[in-house]
Structure formats: structure tokens, C-alpha cells
């Protein structure tokens, strides 16, 4: 009898993992996928991407991410300078013709508290895949006009230009090696 009860308890515990997770889609009017990098060691160049999509499974009860998979069209890079944007699409940076998408696939989420956590995943850019960790800050969950839930969160992290072989012939004096990622998301319950 004890074995049956224990087995039942384990089965319920396993099945309930992610039971309250909901799928969300990006609200592009309230989402920004941004980056910045040092130029000549004196200023930052900022940019973002305009075309992206994501699948997000988030449990509002436990404030935990169960899944996050994002695809960003590198052709949509925007630094407010068309000449620079065209250069970023070339083979010494994003290699946009050969690798039109960059992707991020979450591997795990470590909750620190109901507002903060660490998201670990694989970022793939221009055929190079690296594990990265993003600091996560959950802004909250609210009901929209349509009665559906919305979740807001920020993802921040840092990658190395050299890890992804961007402008490998350019010194770090001209162009910094650290690329800061800053992603602001508002997503709607599907």
C-alpha cells in the first residue's frame, strides 16, 4: 500500500511540473531586442532588431519560465545608420545571406525570487553556438483589455564579439569585445 501511495505521489508531482505554465506570444509594440557595443573606447553604439518571434511558456503562479525559444531575423538589424547596418549584414559580422536567423533556446531557468532569475540557453549567431546566461527580471503579470494575461520581463546579458567571430580582424580598441544585450518583453497569453 505504501508503494502505491508513494508511486501515486511521485506521478502527481511529475505531472504537475509545468501544469500552470501558459503559452505567450510577443507583443511587438511593447518589445525591444537591443544591444550596445563600445566604439573607440569612448562611446557606445546601440542597435536593435525589428523582426523576431518567440515561443514563451511561463508559469505566472510560480513566476518561472518553462520554455523560451526565440528567432531573430538578422537582416532586420537597425542602428539608425544604413551604411553601418548594411556592413553588419556582411560576412565579417552576421553573414545574413548564409545565416538569416539567430536563435536562442532556453535550457534552464533558475529562479532567485519571484522577480529575478537566471536563464541559461544556447545562442546561435552566424553558425556559432554558445551557452549564455541572461539575468531575468519579471516586471509582473496583468490583465489586458481583452481579459487575457500579459507578462512583462527584461533579459540582460553580455556576449563576446570574439566568441562569434565578428570583425575578427578589428582590434578591441576600435570595437569593444563585449556586446551588451538588453531585451524588454511584453507578451500576451495565447
Listed residue (66, 89, 113, 114) closest to 167, CA to CA: 89
Tell me the pLDDT tens digit for each residue of 87-145.
999 999 999 999 999 999 999 999 999 999 999 999 999 999 999 999 999 999 999 88
> From CA 42, how far away is CA 32, in angstroms rounded?
25
Structure letter (DSSP) for residue 83: H
Give CA torsion, residues 51, 56, 60, 63, to 10 deg: -90
Kindly tell me if the per-residue pLDDT of 12 is higher than 70: no
Write down all domains in the chain, each with its CATH number in brackets: 22-189 (2.40.128.110)
State phi, psi for 95 to the nearest 5 degrees. 55, 50
Instruction: Say how many C-beta atoms besides its own lie within 10 A of residue 70's C-beta.
Output: 22
Q: What is the pLDDT of residue 64?
A: 96
CA-derived radius of gyration, the chain: 19
pLDDT of residue 19: 59
Per-residue confidence band for 68, with pLDDT thresholds at 50, 70 and 90: very high
Q: What pLDDT digit, counting tens, does each position of 101-114 carry?
A: 999 999 999 999 99
**C-alpha distance from residue 91 to each of 56, 76, 88, 94, 99 (Å):** 31, 16, 8, 6, 10
pTM for this model (two decimals)? 0.86
Amino acid at each position: 500500500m505504501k508503494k502505491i501511495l508513494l508511486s501515486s505521489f511521485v506521478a502527481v508531482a511529475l505531472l504537475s511540473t509545468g501544469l500552470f505554465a501558459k503559452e505567450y506570444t510577443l507583443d511587438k509594440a511593447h518589445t525591444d531586442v537591443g544591444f550596445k557595443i563600445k566604439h573607440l573606447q569612448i562611446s557606445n553604439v546601440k542597435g536593435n532588431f525589428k523582426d523576431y518571434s518567440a515561443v514563451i511558456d511561463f508559469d505566472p503562479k510560480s513566476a518561472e519560465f518553462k520554455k523560451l525559444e526565440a528567432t531573430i531575423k538578422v537582416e532586420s538589424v537597425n542602428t539608425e545608420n544604413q551604411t553601418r547596418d548594411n556592413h553588419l549584414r556582411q560576412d565579417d559580422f552576421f553573414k545574413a545571406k548564409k545565416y538569416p536567423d539567430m536563435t536562442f533556446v532556453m535550457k534552464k531557468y533558475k529562479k532567485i525570487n519571484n522577480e529575478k532569475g537566471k536563464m541559461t540557453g544556447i545562442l546561435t549567431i552566424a553558425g556559432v553556438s554558445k551557452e549564455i546566461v541572461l539575468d531575468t527580471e519579471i516586471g509582473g503579470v496583468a490583465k489586458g483589455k481583452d481579459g487575457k494575461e500579459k507578462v512583462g520581463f527584461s533579459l540582460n546579458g553580455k556576449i563576446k564579439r570574439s566568441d562569434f567571430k565578428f570583425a575578427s580582424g578589428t582590434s578591441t580598441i576600435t570595437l569593444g569585445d563585449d556586446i551588451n544585450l538588453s531585451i524588454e518583453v511584453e507578451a500576451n497569453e495565447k
